[in-house]
Amino acid sequence: MSWWHIIKFHPDLRRLARDEKVKVIQLGDEESMKELWDASNPDMPHTLRSENKWKYPIDDWFGMIVTEGGKNRLVTVVGNAIKTGKEGRPYAYFGGAKTHPDYRGKGLMREVREKALTPIKGMPRIAGFTGMRKKLGLDLNKPKTHKTIPDDVLAYMNERIEHLDNVDDWGITE
């Protein structure tokens, strides 16, 4: 059975795409995202982040559905999680980004990334990075302490680099 056959009959993909060729949407929690991702990409199923203590939480996912030949496919995702920090101030995790290899290099992630960043604008955002960060030229702020983000979160971000093969760095953007 081909992956096109599988996604053809996923009712949520068709409903969410609304007959558009490319549609950026809010997907909800990780289980909801996983269901759509796995139906669209059986060749690279999503592993829940909660199954690995070195992956920080992402509570709200965003993605892009591409419609080709009348069939809908979730091809790229990224998300965020808003948490309460020092003195009750909010901060956010940002991450979990992935794009199916068939759709990389087409600029699809940019639009999804912007939609996922919208609800956390103005908050300090903390994220882990792969080697891609250096290619993008992102400057990272990696303080030992922060006015909003708890110190134990900063320590965790430092430690997790040692436990994840594909994560090279982390940082905070304000």
Decide: 78 and 95 in contact? Cβ < 8 Å: yes
pLDDT at 6 over 50: no
pLDDT in tens, 70-88: 889 999 999 999 999 999 9
Residue at 73: amino acid letter: R
Decide: 140 and 170 in contact? Cβ < 8 Å: yes
Decide: 67 and 87 in contact? Cβ < 8 Å: no
Q: Percent of the chain beyond pLDDT 70?
A: 90
Residue at 74: amino acid letter: L
Decide: 49 and 55 in contact? Cβ < 8 Å: yes
Cα–Cα distance for residue pair 5/40, rounded to 1 Å: 10
Q: Which residues of 119-151 are buried (b: 16+ CB within 10 A; e: fewer)?
A: ebeebbbbbbbeeebeeeeeeeeeeeebebbee
Give CA angle at 65 (3, 2), nearest 5°.
Answer: 5
- pLDDT of the residue at 29: 96
Lowest pLDDT segment from 14-23, 49-58, 120-129: 14-23
- pLDDT of the residue at 174: 84
pLDDT at 69 over 90: no
Domains of the chain, first to last = 3-173 (3.40.630.30)
- pLDDT of the residue at 93: 97
Q: Are strands 125-129 and 22-28 parallel, antiparallel or unpaired?
A: unpaired
- pLDDT of the residue at 161: 87
**pTM for this entry:** 0.89
